[in-house]
Structure 1
Amino acid sequence: MDDLTRLVAVEDVRRLMARYVYSADHHRWDDLAALFTSDAPFVASTVDGSIQARMTGCAEIADRLKARNQADSVLIHHLFSSEIDIESPDSVAGVWAMEDIVTTPHDGEMHGYGHYRVRFTRSDGRWLITELHITRLRLDWTHPDKENRS
């Protein structure tokens, strides 16, 4: 694979992840789910391996995220320091450092720090997420009663 083709693939998956976080922040769950293959697993866990959420495929991802994030919630996602490996012309794996803040009127605020580990495939010239795993290394909570815990 030549350098230009590699650079285009890297930029394409970076833009796909930018669409992912933009869609999440703006509660565009159908747009976000459309970035995944029909059978893609989406797993969120803490560093100790505790599973916070597990979903599979576009439909379940959209439905579960809609149910979990009401209109009055505020989501903020930041991605940093991507490390992207081109495995083949149609297969890419990447790791992004991440930070997210989720605020709801009833549950308070969750502030997470960790990594996205993502696998992508290209089909018909379009990159899609085939697997996404969020591992949060740290979670800080501020509850409506202002009690703080880590």
Structure 2
Amino acid sequence: MSQVVPPADELEELRQLKARYCRFLDTKDVESWRGVFTPDLVVTLDMAVGVAGADPQTAAPIEGVDNFVPMVLGGLEGVATVHHCHTPELALTSATTATGIWAMEDMLFFADGGQLHGAGHYHETYEKRDGCWRIKTLHLTRTILRMSGGNGS
């Protein structure tokens, strides 16, 4: 007999999923980070701040966890990172699907002394497969993106 999980517990599972996303990314735990996503993940990244309708320079979608994880973690090799997510707006859309928007802040510290400080929002959809919630789509929008320091600056 299947057990019905109360909605509050489902929402807590989604909060825990996003916490693991940040921890596994910052600790560069590749296999665990891969596990927070569905295999058919689709990611869209805004490469600049979008303000008042300005072009946020959205990159082409990255399709599949096998494309996304190595691209991100390869680009962060030797980079210390801090990712924080706050104030989730979560909604269950069915027994196996949900949506969420998270305020986020990230800091990257490069070996040459350069730093990136960013903020924005993760717009996500989730799917529950085999009893576990996973991120199915992720769109990162930016409200702040500042680079400083490093060799040559």
Q: TM-score range by the shorter chain?
A: 0.7 to 0.9
Q: For 1:69-108, what aligned pairs fall within 5 Å after superposition?
A: 69-70=76-77, 72-106=78-112, 108=114
In structure 2, list runs of 5 or more residues that go unmatched: none
Distance 2:26 2:79 in 1: 10
Residue of structure 2 in register with 1:112 after alignment: 118
Offset of residue 89 of structure 1: 1.1
Over the aligned positions, Cα root-mean-square deviation in angstroms equals 1.8
Offset of residue 124 of structure 1: 1.5
Residue of structure 2 in register with 1:58 after alignment: 65
Check the 8 A contact 2:101/2:121 in 1, yes or no: yes
Check the 8 A contact 1:94/1:118 in 2, yes or no: yes
Selected match of 2:133 from 117, 127, 146:
127
Paired amino acid for 1:110:
L
Distance 2:36 2:120 in 1: 21
Residue of structure 2 in register with 1:137 after alignment: 143
Paired amino acid for 2:76:
N
Which one is further off, 30-39 or 51-60?
51-60
User: For the structure 1 residues 134 and 19, does the alpha-carbon distance in structure 2 shift closer, same or farther, using more than 3 Å as the test?
Assistant: same
Residue of structure 2 in register with 1:29 after alignment: 30
Residue of structure 2 in register with 1:16 after alignment: 17
In structure 1, list runs of 5 or more residues that go unmatched: none
Check the 8 A contact 1:84/1:94 in 2, yes or no: yes
Check the 8 A contact 1:34/1:58 in 2, yes or no: no
Check the 8 A contact 1:113/1:139 in 2, yes or no: yes
Q: Which has the higher strand share?
A: 1
Distance 1:101 1:76 in 2: 5
Secondary structure of 1:13's aligned partner: helix
Give aligned pairs, total: 143
User: For the structure 1 residues 32 and 78, does the alpha-carbon distance in structure 2 shift closer, same or farther, using more than 3 Å as the test?
Assistant: same
Distance 2:108 2:34 in 1: 19
TM-score by length of 2: 0.85
TM-score by length of 1: 0.87
- Give CA-to-partner distance per residue, 1:73-129, whole Å, 9 cap, x none: 110011111110111111110001010001112371110010011100111211111
Offset of residue 29 of structure 1: 2.5
Distance 1:120 1:25 in 2: 21
